[in-house]
Structure 1
Amino acid sequence: MYRFRNSLKLLCWIGLGIFISGCEPSSPEDMLNNYQYRISNVMEVSQAVISDLPTRPAFPLRRHLIYPTLEVREGLLDVINLKTCNLLPLIAERNSSLGKVYAPSQKMRYELTFYHAIGQCKKALEDTPTADQALLAQVSSIYQAKHDNLPAELWNGIFTAKELELNFSRAKETLPLIDDGSSQNSINAMKTLIGIIRAPLAGDRWELPPALDTIESSYNVLYNNRSGPKILSSLQLLTTHLSQASDTLERGLQQKQLCFNNTPSTRAKIIQNVFYKYYIGEVQPYLANVHKYAVAWTAVNKELMASFKAYNLEPPEQLAKYQHVVLSHDEPDSLWARYLEARNKHTQSWQKLLKQCGMMPKHSD
């Protein structure tokens, strides 16, 4: 009778597996819930209730991120003198109705363009023996003011922009099961911004980067894709599910022996099928994709911050704290550290189970 009940239970597992296998998971959460269900069913351990994803720390408020700058204002007669440098169109642009309400990205574009133009004018006047010395003094004064303002202007153009802020929101949408390329596009957009920021560091004869003319396209990619929170939410999703799946495997091993004399039981063979079909076949490809983009996303943000160190500009305290908790790979309590801990523990749980039954994958598997 006991054997009959066990056989019936196994048939139910197999039948249910055949029924569910016809339904492809529509989201990472569905896929991970299905994976956990199969583990708990075979291991005969009650499945833990999955709580909502933890709320990440909030990105610092804009007022805590902005660096003050000094506006350069010239009298009418002084501005007329600047026609020698071909700066009047730029000055007119800034004083227009649109120029007075520039978005951070456009203000940064303008300041870089003006800084480059005034620098070229200064260099040309210095190289001209007959140059008007009063004009050279005026141009040099404006150049120095723009030079001193430049790090803050670049910083504000990046870190006070709505597009960047949205990439560190606490939205809980995750990366899709099938990579749609949007995360790589966002990472590429960040790299474009880094290139723009670093351009003035090239020396006296630096050139405006071509990407400056299409800077809004990079900001639009960041705004539309919002890949940052998707990557971070995916890390949290994997952390939660892998941790609970590991606990289920460990509890199952403690409650009932799967193998005798290193020989797999029928139930052991079923859990081995879960390992191959659902962990190797579904969970691992998604995990690898999230891991890849999390590494690239945190690296590009670290590179962005390093670019400002070359200008001797340090991030505000609130942002430094945020980065330690959310983006750091070194902090023991960061999102990344908790994810790695959950991933490694899950790998070890499977290794423990498969070793007990002599079912460890061979290199050719």
Structure 2
Amino acid sequence: MRVRLLIISSISLLFLSACQWQRPHIEQQFSTYLARIANIQDVAPMPEPSIQTQSLPDKRALNHQIPAVTLGILDSYQLRHCQLFHLIAERNSILGKVQDQFRNLDYQMALLHGLHHCMNSPEIDPKLKHQLTQVTKTKEQQLPWQWHNFLYTSDVMRHQLSSHRWYLRDRNYGDIQSALTALLKVNQWVMTRPHSTPLPQPITPYQETLDKSPLLGDLMFSMTNLTHWLNTVTQQLKHHDSAIWCGSNRDQRRFHQLQNVFYKYYVGDIQPYLASVDGAYQQIQLIAPLFASSSLSAVAPFPLKKVHQEFRQATLHHIAYWQHLFERCGVKVGK
């Protein structure tokens, strides 16, 4: 019986070790960091935070129904003078009617730009210009909806904004920076009135990159879960701060042990990873306003800037505890 229990215990330890070995490195580091702190405090560690995957709400909850606009008047021969006839004819072809959301967005922008060009053309008669004005007004109102649907309901963008993995600096994200810059330029054009200004470059050529290199989803996943881990460890430290003694004629062994844990696990392993995630965000922060809440959505489906602010705040709060502890114990940070 005793031998059986030993075998079962050994198997359990091997299973737990295997699970720990399979965990991502940053999770292992945080888990060890929390356990070492609790051990020094001589208390039980707080429950580890659950890892949250990064995902968007269901498509139906995000999709805006856009009424169809009858463009029969745009079949006019006069539109050949302002290069809009062929664009619409291509759209009305068999292939054009089954365009994905990338090509549809490029078409909607080109159409609106072409409408403005036609209205300013001297070769278009006043009656047709009046009709074009009405269509243009409707298309102007619909374009932000088209953009919103593209960002949050197209399969490619949903993949870009979703993730279940930690950001890695050496992971190949391809030419994602160029793709994000293209998104930013499209956003600026969509939000600018009137849409007679030069068109941004088409977004369709970046479809594959945005699909296969989900940098934004990885960053959102990482910042969200790092915030939870940092807050958990900070709570552990604060709730049992009284267990750490400092001052003359006091046993300061726990403080020195805690100090070693800080430098070994936080400074040695965790902080460099936090810096790499923050650095990656800084490189793409200009696109954060793209995903801010607007009149089209009461709650931002992908609050990139807000999550980064929470991540930075959690980091600052964590460091603030250590600074306070070191000051209380008469140790200068860095010593």
Q: TM-score range by the shorter chain?
A: 0.7 to 0.9
Aligned twin of 1:162: 155
Aligned twin of 2:278: 291
Q: Distance in 2 between matches of 1:80 and 1:229?
A: 47
- Residue of 216, 237, 245 corresponding to 1:249: 237
Paired residues of 1:35 and 1:279 also in contact (CA < 8 A): yes
1:106 deviation in Å? 0.8
1:57-72 correspondence to structure 2 within 5 Å:
58-62=56-60, 64-72=62-70
Q: Distance in 2 between matches of 1:262 and 1:360?
A: 20
- The amino acid of 1:113's aligned partner reads A
Once the two structures are superposed, what CA deviation does each residue of 1:259-318 show, in whole Å capped at 9, x if it has no partner?
451888455444323222321222112222333445676762324558xx7xxxx2133x
Q: Structure 1-normalised TM-score?
A: 0.69
- The amino acid of 1:351's aligned partner reads Q
- Residue of 225, 239, 247 corresponding to 1:237: 225
- Residue of 80, 83, 86 corresponding to 2:83: 86
Q: Distance in 2 between matches of 1:162 and 1:271?
A: 48
Q: Distance in 2 between matches of 1:262 and 1:110?
A: 77
Aligned twin of 2:166: 174
Paired residues of 1:45 and 1:251 also in contact (CA < 8 A): no
1:347-358 correspondence to structure 2 within 5 Å:
347-358=319-330
Residues 223 and 132 from structure 1, CA distance in 2 versus in 1: closer, same or farther, beyond 3 angstroms? same
1:94 deviation in Å? 0.7
RMSD across aligned positions (CA): 3.8
Residues 27 and 136 from structure 1, CA distance in 2 versus in 1: closer, same or farther, beyond 3 angstroms? same
Paired residues of 1:167 and 1:226 also in contact (CA < 8 A): yes
Counterpart check, 1:109 vs 2:96 = no
Mind listing any 5+ residue stretches in structure 1 that lack a counterpart? Answer: 1-22, 330-334
- Residue of 317, 326, 331 corresponding to 1:359: 331
Alignment coverage as a number of residue pairs: 313
Q: Structure 2-normalised TM-score?
A: 0.74
Once the two structures are superposed, what CA deviation does each residue of 1:160-207 show, in whole Å capped at 9, x if it has no partner?
3223323444x432212x454749x65653442231233363657511
Residues 52 and 304 from structure 1, CA distance in 2 versus in 1: closer, same or farther, beyond 3 angstroms? closer
**281-290 vs 340-349, greater mean Cα deviation:** 340-349
1:118 deviation in Å? 3.0
- The amino acid of 2:289's aligned partner reads K
Q: Distance in 1 between matches of 2:257 and 2:289?
A: 44
Q: Distance in 1 between matches of 2:241 and 2:312?
A: 23
Q: Distance in 1 between matches of 2:157 and 2:268?
A: 35
Aligned twin of 2:5: none
Paired residues of 1:231 and 1:290 also in contact (CA < 8 A): yes
1:100 deviation in Å? 0.9
Once the two structures are superposed, what CA deviation does each residue of 1:59-113 show, in whole Å capped at 9, x if it has no partner?
253454324133233279x444433333332122212222111111211101211
Aligned twin of 1:153: 146
Residues 347 and 138 from structure 1, CA distance in 2 versus in 1: closer, same or farther, beyond 3 angstroms? closer
Aligned twin of 1:5: none
Q: Distance in 2 between matches of 1:182 and 1:353?
A: 40
- The amino acid of 2:333's aligned partner reads P
Paired residues of 2:113 and 2:196 also in contact (CA < 8 A): no
Residues 90 and 204 from structure 1, CA distance in 2 versus in 1: closer, same or farther, beyond 3 angstroms? closer
- The amino acid of 1:162's aligned partner reads D
Counterpart check, 1:216 vs 2:204 = yes
Mind listing any 5+ residue stretches in structure 2 that lack a counterpart? Answer: 1-20
Match of 1:124, SS state, is coil
Paired residues of 1:39 and 1:249 also in contact (CA < 8 A): yes
1:268-283 correspondence to structure 2 within 5 Å:
268-283=255-270
